[in-house]
Amino acid sequence: MIKKLALILLAIATVAMATTLTGTMQTPDGTGASGYLYLSLSQQAALITGSCGGPIQVVPTYEVKITVTGGTVSGTIYGNDCLIPAGTYYNVRFTDTRGNAQMTDRWVITGSSVDVGTIVSVIVSGTTQTLGGNGVLVSTSATNQTVTQSSGTKFSVNLLAATTTWTMPDTGFCNASGCVFQNTAAFVSGIGTTAASSSTLFVGSGNFYNRYYTGTLASCVGVTDGWTAIKKDTHELEICLGGAMYFATLTAK
């Protein structure tokens, strides 16, 4: 049975979507460390179907052994971003060639490739020894934090409050003073206010352009009062009121 489990875990090396571990491990004096890196999952997990190559059950208690020679790390393992449930991590230990323990840690491994030199310890609820790392959101962080969703998935939050600034993909933003859109904002259903509210539109130093059309006269039947347009071919300003069309002829100066 143990041999079968070992074969399952060793097969990780041949899986296209496994995360490749690269980089360098050194001793404090700068010498390349040699020994063995052992990684085991924090709990039972399953490999996500689709791009991650699942469905596969992954055995958590087996330690994947990666040989480190002269400081060079080269091996593969399932990334935590391809495993469910969310929040898994790897228990990590490093021994020298004689089996002496040199390091223990907890890592979150994501992406197609990761340099071990960029990995920092993850925080686990109830501990006070480690600080936040890749793939783990912390309440107070000195650096940027990123959540990357797998293709076809969504990050859903039932209540979201941006207390300072909310930044949009086009670098536009919203803060306590209002919102700034770097590109044209498309309001598909218009900009609406309630009947009891007043609406004010300030053009400022910019320009306001009304819609225009040519050809067949527009119909005001069933159209909300206030619809306006310029009929370009007859030089008329048209307004719908009470289902009827009102217009004024425009004179050039």
- What are the residue boundaries of the structural domains of the chain, listed by start? 2-118, 212-249
Question: What pLDDT, on a 0 to 100 scale, did the predictor assign at position 208?
Answer: 86
pLDDT tens, position by position, for the chain (253 residues)? 444 444 444 444 344 468 999 999 998 998 999 999 999 999 999 998 888 888 899 888 889 999 999 999 999 999 998 898 888 899 999 999 998 999 899 999 988 899 998 888 887 665 444 444 445 555 656 567 777 777 788 888 888 888 899 999 889 999 998 899 998 888 877 777 776 677 777 787 888 889 999 999 999 999 888 899 999 999 999 999 999 999 999 998 8
Helices (H), 11-91: none
The reported pLDDT for the residue numbered 123 is 72
Sheet holding 236-241, edge to edge: 212-213, 228-231, 236-241, 244-249
Q: What is the pTM of this model?
A: 0.47
Report DSSP state, residue 54.
B
Cβ 56 vs Cβ 21: under 8 Å = no
Residue 53: both structure tokens together: 């190559």
The Cα–Cα gap between 17 and 79 comes to 8
Q: Which fold has domain 2-118?
A: Immunoglobulin-like (2.60.40)
3-state secondary structure of 117: helix
90-96 sheet: strands from edge to edge: 72-73, 64-69, 35-41, 90-96, 101-107
Q: Which residues have CB under 8 Å from 78's CB, separation 6+?
A: 12, 15, 18, 19, 47, 58
Which of 231, 240, 224 is CA-nearest to residue 190?
Answer: 224
Residues 6+ apart with CB under 8 A from 72: 24, 32
Q: Is 169 helix (H, G, I), strand (E, B) or coil?
A: coil
Cα separation, 230 vs 209, in Å, equals 10
Read off φ and ψ for residue 230, nearest 5 degrees. -110, 120
Beta strands in 71-205 (DSSP E): 72-73, 75-77, 83-84, 90-96, 101-107, 113-115, 165-167, 173-175, 178-180
